[in-house]
Amino acid sequence: MTIRLLVMDVDGTLTDGRICIGADGEMMKTFNCKDGYGIKHLLPDAGITPMIITGRNSTILARRADELGITELHQGVHDKLPLLRRLMEERGLTRNEVAYIGDDLNDLEAIRFAGLSGCPADSTQGIIDVVDYVCRRDGGRGAVREFIEHMIRLNESEAGR
């Protein structure tokens, strides 16, 4: 198994799940710089493409994805698995070449489908019970970076066989 695609959820995975809404309706989310470094620098160096599939629509996320060089951003997707399957088919990828990290039940089908799955430490129990790797870190607090480093180690050990 060599991972070539990392699919990430956003709220609760790339963020801590909090959404701050100001009096005038402005929204804010926080992202972790260590996650960002892993996405922008470690993934390309390892030959892994980052992709986001999320149920919400957010201009904040579009800006962050652009900043990190993520060109595969799919927002407003509530049923994630059919889209993931279609995108894999278009790219000629197998399940064993896809990793998925998410934190809640809307990620469950995609998590079960992916060749490698992970979740932040503070994920819902229904996700923790089925993933291959439970991060020590919480969502929005370096869990994605931890999972990226785990994937890269697996790829390197597979290449060394």
HEC string for 41-54: HHHHHCCCEEEEEC
List the beta bridge partners of residue 7.
51, 100
Cβ 134 vs Cβ 40: under 8 Å: no
Cβ 39 vs Cβ 148: under 8 Å: yes
- Best CA proximity match to 114, nearest among 143, 87, 137: 87
Could you read off the pLDDT tens digit of each residue along the chain, which spans 161 residues? 799 999 999 999 999 999 888 888 878 889 999 999 999 999 999 999 999 999 999 899 999 999 999 999 999 999 999 999 999 999 999 999 999 999 999 999 999 999 999 999 999 999 999 999 999 999 999 999 999 999 999 999 887 76
Half-sphere exposure of 83 (CA within 13 A, CB side): 16
Looking at residue 20, its pLDDT comes to 87
Looking at residue 61, its pLDDT comes to 93
103 is in an annotated binding site: yes
Domain architecture of the chain: domains with CATH: 10-79+97-160 (3.40.50.1000)
| Alpha-carbon span 13 to 121, nearest angstrom | 10
**Tokens representing residue 137 in the block:** 């870190």
132 is in an annotated binding site: no
Looking at residue 158, its pLDDT comes to 82
Looking at residue 19, its pLDDT comes to 86
Q: Quickly count: other Cβ atoms within 10 Å of residue 91's Cβ.
A: 14
Looking at residue 97, its pLDDT comes to 97
Looking at residue 51, its pLDDT comes to 98
